[in-house]
Amino acid sequence: MSKHRSGRSTSRPVGKAPVAGLPVNKNDEVMLDIIGMTHEGEGVGRVEGFTLFVQGALPGEKVRAKVLKTKKQYGYAKLLNLVEASSARIAAPCEIYDQCGGCQLQHMDYAAQLAWKRQLVVDNLERIGKLRVSGGGRDAGTDQAAGILVRPTLGMDEPWRYRNKAQVPIGVTEGGLVGGFYARGSHRIIDMETCLIQHEDNDDVVRKVKEIGRKRGITAYDEESGKGLLRHVVVKKAFRTGEMMLVLVTNGERIPHLDEWITEIRREIPAVTSICQNVNTKQTNVIFGDTTRTLWGNDVIYDYIGDVKFAISARSFYQVNPAQTEVLYGKTVEYAGLTGNETVIDAYCGIGTISLFLAQHAKQVYGVEIVREAIEDARANATLNGMDNVVFEVGASEDVIPNWKEQGITADIIVVDPPRKGCDPRLLETILAMKPERVVYVSCNPSTLARDLRVLEDGGYKTVEVTPVDMFPHTVHVEAVCSLIYKGFE
């Protein structure tokens, strides 16, 4: 949560405190000064030192709230009414924002979102990483010698309709098929006609699939019984080429009235160039099964990030915000400081998106990824772009990179883009043993970023600069790109 001075509530709670000695009970109504916001977007208030988290409350606000649940050291409260509103508060434009769990910050002005995301990164660097930040607090900072320079968050000029992929769970009501998002903290599906962070064409395809399904009597999958046909509708939109892919995730191979589905989709939305089926018969909340087949059209769609072309299949991982991906990768290339003579290792290369960006500016790039299908996609994408200075290998980076070192392959720069859990400790050990001149860390989780930077700093690296990038406006997620240099090269 953001660093602020702890405050007291402006009024005592109504009701008697429990035997355990807590200053509040469940169902008490309290007046709270909101002094910060958690990484999940909940407002933070305190009653006599006892912390309450309030969904929908913003820092600087005074609110009246009802206590929903208490634990030993903290509790949760529901916002009843605003006594004093923050200047950052706006009316959320989405009609189902209060029900849907997809966005958490639509009630917050976009400039304030960007400032909060920067502060989230700063707080984690200082609190978890015990790292000194230039300027400290909320200042952008200019003096690198004073600590790590954390730049202002790079946001979007138009932070709406940015998602190129819709992944919609399907359920059923008395009116037939519904599809949208899960309500906050549940598996109850909120039907959705439009999503303001989703590309309009994806909305159109989902709407049309639901209409056809209702008309044809298609059943929706039921998690509890394991019965019903349609589990998810997945739509992918290539922003640059305009191509679209529809994937029907089904609980079984046979789709009734399949020809009618295909005909209507093609007629209504001619941009759809690929219709696929993924079969998942397991009673699980995992979206995709192991079997995918093309029902009509092409096996892949094509899109570009910058000048690099990518083939996207039904199960390929591909960044969902292509505009900000270009910003993120551009900053990665900038921090790598490539002159064309370097050897680069991309330690979590996925389908090769960052690797191929780097290969345009480096002498040689080596990419490693534990998912075999991703490496197959990466190799195909390298061929698609005529790049012969990239080598991809399947395996865990902490196993593959030491083997490369034994073969005489050493890196001038190592780029890491790990999952939310951060880098494997053995990979960090490998980096410290190889001692590349620079490390560029691309993070999707500020807390594990801070933890890993502490390890690299203790091993001889200096974190020079961090730039947060807003890949997911109106959500609590923040990415960051970090530049580190080995102290022996300073």
Backbone angles phi, psi at 248, to 5 degrees: -95, 115
> Which of 152, 153, 194, 442 is CA-nearest to residue 319?
442
DSSP, residue by residue, 354-378? HHHHHHTTSSEEEEEES-HHHHHHH
CA distance linking residue 204 with residue 417, whole number of Å: 33
**Which two tokens mark 24?**
């509040």
Identify the DSSP state of 133: B
Say whether 331 sits in a helix, a strand or coil. helix
Give the end-to-end CA distance of the chain in Å, rounded to a whole number. 34
User: Is residue 195 annotated as part of the catalytic site, yes or no?
Assistant: no
- Determine which helix (DSSP H) or strand (DSSP E) holds 303, and give its type and residue range: strand 301-305
Identify the DSSP state of 347: T
**CB-based burial label for 423 (10 Å; 0-12, 13-18, 19+):** buried
C-alpha distances (whole Å) from 295 to each of 31, 245, 256, 281, 298 are 58, 11, 13, 18, 9
DSSP, residue by residue, 443-455? ES-HHHHHHHHHH
CA distance linking residue 359 with residue 151, whole number of Å: 26
DSSP, residue by residue, 168-221? EEEEEETTEEEEEEEBTTS-PEEE-S--TTB-HHHHHHHHHHHHHHHHHTPPBP
- R_g (Cα) of the chain, nearest Å: 25
Which residues make beta-bridge pairs with 233?
A: 168, 248
CA distance linking residue 319 with residue 324, whole number of Å: 9
Q: How many helices (H) and strands (E) does the chain have?
A: 9, 23
Identify the DSSP state of 96: T
- Choosing from 100, 349, 444, 482, the catalytic residue is 444
- Determine which helix (DSSP H) or strand (DSSP E) holds 70, and give its type and residue range: strand 62-70
CA distance linking residue 108 with residue 56, whole number of Å: 9
Catalytic residue ranges: 444
